[in-house]
Amino acid sequence: MALPLWKNLLQTTKKRILQQRWLSLYNGAHGYEEELVKKKLQQFSGGSVNLSKEDNGIGILTLNNPKLMNAFTGTMIVELQERVTELENWKDGKGLIIHGAGNTFCSGSDLNAVKEMSNSQDGMNMCMFMQNTLTRLMRLPLISVALVQGKAFGGGAELTTACDFRLMTPGSEIRFVHKHMGLVPGWGGAARLVRIVGSGAALQLLGGAARVDPERALRLGLSEETLPSSDETTALGEARAWLNQYTEGPTTVIRAVKKVVTAGRELPLEAALRTEKDIFGTVWGGPANLQALDRRPKQK
């Protein structure tokens, strides 16, 4: 028997809340009160984080605070979380490009806000808030790309590591400047960087606050490709075309691809294998699989 509409809605909302809790790292048990943290962050306003969802299943997330080189104000940090929730609920999504307005990526936290939040409680709260958001971003069933134009500094560099891939334009730069701020990364950037480039290279990049140009990023495996154009719009088109080679195809299959890789990346082997089995079960005998069996394509 079908459930009444209100019960259905209640169940869906409950499921979403539980899913968000499961995908996050910190909650009340860690002394983390999200609503209070949000209230504090809302005091530092400016800029926006915008999302457009394209018909081809690619989302474009734009950090929009060009006056401050797209530095994250408090309200942008909250908006980023809202956009991630939107992406979690976008069932037609296959890919995501994150870029900054005004032909530059992001210069990290807004230093004006950071100065006002320099006590340890505020620092820990922002750190937990951003780790939760970026972990959920990384676990989206979408193949994600950071399009680095101009500069990705501090928290901006950390954000690039929460994407599956990084593409850089000529003349752009990734730089973990934390040491020069008397800090280390706190948005999960160090843990993810080690997994991307290895511990030796990560030590060099963090310990030296080193400038990483497109050539060095390619050598380190931090960037996938240097795009031909440094023009803002053309480069976005090139990033779309690059991503499209991986997102072309049935939505269920592309999302399943990302899910098995996320499991392999994050879980111990046995748990990853079990998860892979479950995800395999969602595509086996599905429409794309049956159509392929009918067509019997030659894999040349």
Residues near ligand LP2KCY5N (CB under 6 A) are 68-69, 71, 107-112, 114, 151, 153-155, 158, 177-178, 181, 183, 185-187
CA dihedral sign, ordered 151, 156, 161, 167: negative
Alpha-helical segments (H) within the chain: 5-23, 34-41, 74-88, 111-116, 120-138, 155-161, 189-197, 199-207, 214-220, 232-247, 251-266, 269-283, 287-295
- Backbone angle region of 176, left / alpha / beta, with phi > 0 → left and psi within -120 to 50 → alpha: beta
Taking the complex as a whole, how short is the minimal distance between the CB of residue 79 and ligand LP2KCY5N, in angstroms? 16
Taking the complex as a whole, how short is the minimal distance between the CB of residue 158 and ligand LP2KCY5N, in angstroms? 6
Q: What is the rounded distance in angstroms from the CA atom of residue 241 to the CA atom of residue 244?
A: 5
Residue closer to ligand LP2KCY5N (CB basis): 172 or 262 = 172
Taking the complex as a whole, how short is the minimal distance between the CB of residue 29 and ligand LP2KCY5N, in angstroms? 24
Cα atoms found within 13 Å of the Cα of residue 240, Cβ hemisphere only? 15
Contact 279, 256 (CB under 8 A): yes
**Six-digit token string for 140:** 């989206």
Instruction: Report CA 288 to chain centroid distance, whole Å.
Output: 28
Q: What is the rounded distance in angstroms from the CA atom of residue 103 to the CA atom of residue 51?
A: 17
Residue closer to ligand LP2KCY5N (CB basis): 108 or 141 = 108
Question: Do the bridges between strand 173-175 and strand 151-153 make them parallel or antiparallel, or are there none, so unpaired?
Answer: parallel
Residue closer to ligand LP2KCY5N (CB basis): 95 or 150 = 150
Contact 153, 106 (CB under 8 A): yes
Taking the complex as a whole, how short is the minimal distance between the CB of residue 123 and ligand LP2KCY5N, in angstroms? 7
**Six-digit token string for 290:** 């049956």
Taking the complex as a whole, how short is the minimal distance between the CB of residue 25 and ligand LP2KCY5N, in angstroms? 17
Taking the complex as a whole, how short is the minimal distance between the CB of residue 201 and ligand LP2KCY5N, in angstroms? 19
**Six-digit token string for 262:** 């996320």
Taking the complex as a whole, how short is the minimal distance between the CB of residue 34 and ligand LP2KCY5N, in angstroms? 18
Residue closer to ligand LP2KCY5N (CB basis): 107 or 144 = 107
Residue closer to ligand LP2KCY5N (CB basis): 88 or 158 = 158
Residue closer to ligand LP2KCY5N (CB basis): 202 or 279 = 202
State the chain's maximal CA–CA distance in angstroms. Answer: 64
Taking the complex as a whole, how short is the minimal distance between the CB of residue 185 and ligand LP2KCY5N, in angstroms? 5
Residue closer to ligand LP2KCY5N (CB basis): 118 or 233 = 118
Residue closer to ligand LP2KCY5N (CB basis): 134 or 143 = 134
